[in-house]
Amino acid sequence: MSIPAPLTGVVPPVCTPLTPDGEVDVPSLVALVDHLVTAGVHALFVLGSTSEAAYLTDARRRLVVETVAGHVAGQLPVLAGAIDMTTPRVLDHVASVTAAGADAVVTTAPYYARTHPAEIARHYRLLAARSPVPVLAYDLPVGVHSKLSAELVLELAADGTLSGLKDSSGDLGAFRSVVLGARARPDLAGFSVLTGSELIADSALAMGADGVVPGLGNVDPAGYVRLDRLCREGDWAGARAEQERLCALFGMVGAGDPARMGAGSSALGAFKAALHLRGVIACPLTAEPQVPLSEDEVERVGKYLAAAGLL
């Protein structure tokens, strides 16, 4: 299916449940998709950071897309990350995920390799020229170590290279520049501006963002669907209350001890522990070399769920 232009609403970055030996747990993945679709989300984003794409082998990545695209069978759009270091490697992923059924791809600027703004622009132009599906830029400075400027995003939108932006930079001021820049041009009416922030989804929607891609949306998809609806109805007080409830729930990402593990292990471990505690997935394991949460840390996750009325 083609993706809406613009793509709007709640687009959770789908966690990738794993078996105890690190393989994709297909039944749990299907159950998670059902959990999200039932809650009313508007599209799915697989193979992003929350999906642990960086930790999945090519075979596992393919299986994820096949599973999800096959299961939703066109009921709602499936976007897939094509996460790799440079153009030729990303193009291999584009071929793989589109063959497996993805409706659009989401890709970062080059990383690991030293880059230059001219090379980032060239990267996206080459990708767009060869991708059979729309390309959205993924702005993730914490991983990529460069920031996509609003100017570059709008330039690549205007020439048809990019169909949208998934912004995980945390910089809402720059994000707003893209929102306003896109709105100022009638030919960019279909350009999708999506935020990856869990904590300021209401702010992003209030300023005109098309949609939200919250990792926490795995744990509480109904919450983000409500938040999105309240924003579209202009009920800002209601939206703020719902957002604040989700902010409190998001505190779970700090469950892991920072002396023992990185922020990624803690956040992804918490999301998966929450999904396990809620009975959605069979095993809370995160991929290697991430450090698993301890029993005490899982218990802390449970307290966040309970406080939010989810357990």
Q: Which of residues 117-136 bind a second copy (CB under 8 A)?
A: 118-120, 122-123, 126
- How near is the Cβ of 215 to a second copy at its closest, in Å? 12
- How near is the Cβ of 71 to a second copy at its closest, in Å? 23
Contact residue for a second copy among 8, 28, 87, 163 (CB under 8 A)? 87
Q: Are 190 and 5 in contact (CB under 8 A)?
A: yes
Which one, 1 or 199, has the nearer CB to a second copy? 199
Q: Is 81 in the site for a second copy (CB under 8 A)?
A: no
Binding span for a second copy by CB under 8 A among 2-10, 68-76, 107-115, 218-226: 107-115
Q: Which of residues 199-228 bind a second copy (CB under 8 A)?
A: 199-200, 202-203, 206-207
Q: Is 144 in the site for a second copy (CB under 8 A)?
A: yes
Q: Which residues contact 257 (CB under 8 A, 6 or more apart)?
A: 266, 294, 297
- How near is the Cβ of 86 to a second copy at its closest, in Å? 4
> Residue 127 CB: number of other CB atoms within 10 A?
20
Q: Is 236 in the site for a second copy (CB under 8 A)?
A: yes
- What b/e readout covers 236-261, taking b as 16+ CB neighbours within 10 angstroms? eebbbebbebbeebbebbebbeeeeb
- Label residue 187 exposed, middle or buried (CB < 10 Å: 0-12, 13-18, 19+): exposed
> Residue 309 CB: number of other CB atoms within 10 A?
10
Number of residues that bind a second copy (CB under 8 A): 67
Q: Is 185 in the site for a second copy (CB under 8 A)?
A: no
Helix-helix angle 26-39:58-72, to 10 degrees: 40
Binding span for a second copy by CB under 8 A among 64-72, 159-167, 236-244, 274-282: 236-244
Closest to 2 (Cα-Cα) out of 99, 97, 78: 78
H/E run at residue 10: strand 9-10
> Residue 112 CB: number of other CB atoms within 10 A?
10
Residues of this chain that bind a second copy (CB under 8 A): 22, 49, 54-58, 60, 83, 85-89, 91-92, 110-116, 118-120, 122-123, 126, 142-145, 170-174, 176-177, 180, 197-200, 202-203, 206-207, 236, 240, 244, 247-248, 258-265, 287-291
